[in-house]
């Protein structure tokens, strides 16, 4: 979609699918869980991207006890944190993180602190100094709470921050927060982000003299 540029003051970065390609691990863990529950693994995976695990479970198994979902979620998180096979950076992620290092930015992820540390480390990516993880919010994406907290941590109004996201839940959260959203990768295109690019190689980050950040896109 043609959006020549977006100018903001802060950047809010999702992790899985945006900076880190963890699809192989996510597919392994969630296909196993779906099969155990007698569910269609592909249908569960369509829901799982970008959400906290217990919310995915509540969505695909409505009426299931919350305690059971939370217990299953703890078990799956342990599996995901231990399984780092196949985790790689999204194309352009190392250069993108280098470009934004001196600029106001934060990680906003549905992962917990342990999982985000493990995956960023496995992909050999720098962890942003500010990060909002599942421990910091009361509601998962598509609720905007995480992105609103990220903007507050950076000290900017929501509309002054751009979100980078790959999932439908994450894009919905960013838009609900009143922020422009840069959709990354093939999953993002169907969810009407403000701009869409195939990966981070297609994003140019330009600091402006007044302290703002201009994002431009190609590809």
What are the structural domain ranges in the chain? 5-22+87-217, 23-82
Query: What pLDDT, in 10s, does the model give residues 165-179?
Result: 999 999 999 999 999
The pLDDT assigned to 50 comes to 77
Domain 5-22+87-217 fold? Rossmann fold (3.40.50)
Rg (CA), the chain: 17
Long-range contacts of 54-58 (CB under 8 A, 24+ apart): 55/140, 56/30
Given the residues 16, 72, 112, 166, select the one marked as catalytic: 16
Instruction: State yes or no: is 16 an active-site residue.
Output: yes
Residue 28 has pLDDT above 90, yes or no: yes
Query: Could you tell me which residues are beta bridge partners of residue 184?
Result: 197
Query: What pLDDT, in 10s, does the model give residues 197-208?
Result: 999 999 999 999
Cα dihedral value 181, 50, 90, 111, nearest 10: 120
pLDDT category at 2 given cuts 50, 70, 90 is very low
Residue spans of alpha helices (H) in the chain: 23-37, 41-48, 53-60, 66-82, 93-100, 113-122, 145-154, 168-176
The pLDDT assigned to 1 comes to 45
CA–CA distance from 212 to each of 64, 206, 207, 208, 209 (Å)?
A: 47, 9, 6, 5, 7
CA–CA distance from 160 to each of 13, 103, 209 (Å)?
A: 14, 13, 16
Q: Best-predicted range by mean pLDDT among 3-7, 21-25, 120-124? A: 120-124
The pLDDT assigned to 3 comes to 56
The pLDDT assigned to 22 comes to 92
Residue 69 has pLDDT above 60, yes or no: yes
Degrees to nearest 5, angle at CA 148 with 144 and 152? 170
Q: CA torsion sign, 207 to 210 to 212 to 216? A: negative
Q: What is the mean pLDDT of residues 78-98?
A: 96
Average pLDDT, the chain: 95
Beta carbons within 8 Å of 141's beta carbon, 6+ residues apart: 50, 51, 52, 110, 167, 169, 170, 172, 173
pLDDT category at 196 given cuts 50, 70, 90 is very high
Instruction: State yes or no: is 85 an active-site residue.
Output: no
The pLDDT assigned to 219 comes to 66
Question: Which of these, 165, 171, 159, 170, lies nearest to 184 by C-alpha position?
Answer: 165
- Percent of the chain whose pLDDT exceeds 90: 93
Query: What pLDDT, in 10s, does the model give residues 108-136?
Result: 999 999 999 999 999 999 999 999 999 99
């Amino acid at each position: 979609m043609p959006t020549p540029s977006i100018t903001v003051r802060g950047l809010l970065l999702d992790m899985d699918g945006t900076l880190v390609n963890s699809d192989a691990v996510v597919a392994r863990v969630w296909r196993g869980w779906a099969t155990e529950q007698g569910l269609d693994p592909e249908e569960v995976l369509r829901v799982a991207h970008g959400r906290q695990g217990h919310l995915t479970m509540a969505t695909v198994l409505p009426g299931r006890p919350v305690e059971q979902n939370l217990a299953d979620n703890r078990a799956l998180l342990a599996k995901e944190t231990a399984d780092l096979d196949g985790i790689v950076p999204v194309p352009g992620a190392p250069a993108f993180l280098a470009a934004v290092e001196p600029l106001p930015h934060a990680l906003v992820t549905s992962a917990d602190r342990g999982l985000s540390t493990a995956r960023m480390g496995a992909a050999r990516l720098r962890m942003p100094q500010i990060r909002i993880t599942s421990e910091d919010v009361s509601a998962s994406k598509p609720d905007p709470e995480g992105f609103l907290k990220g903007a507050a941590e950076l000290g900017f109004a929501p509309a002054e921050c751009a979100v980078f996201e790959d999932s439908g839940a994450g894009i919905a959260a960013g838009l609900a927060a009143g922020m422009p959203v840069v959709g990354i990768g093939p999953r993002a295109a169907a969810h009407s982000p403000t701009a869409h690019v195939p990966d981070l190689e297609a994003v140019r980050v330009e600091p402006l003299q007044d302290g703002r950040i201009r994002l431009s896109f190609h590809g």
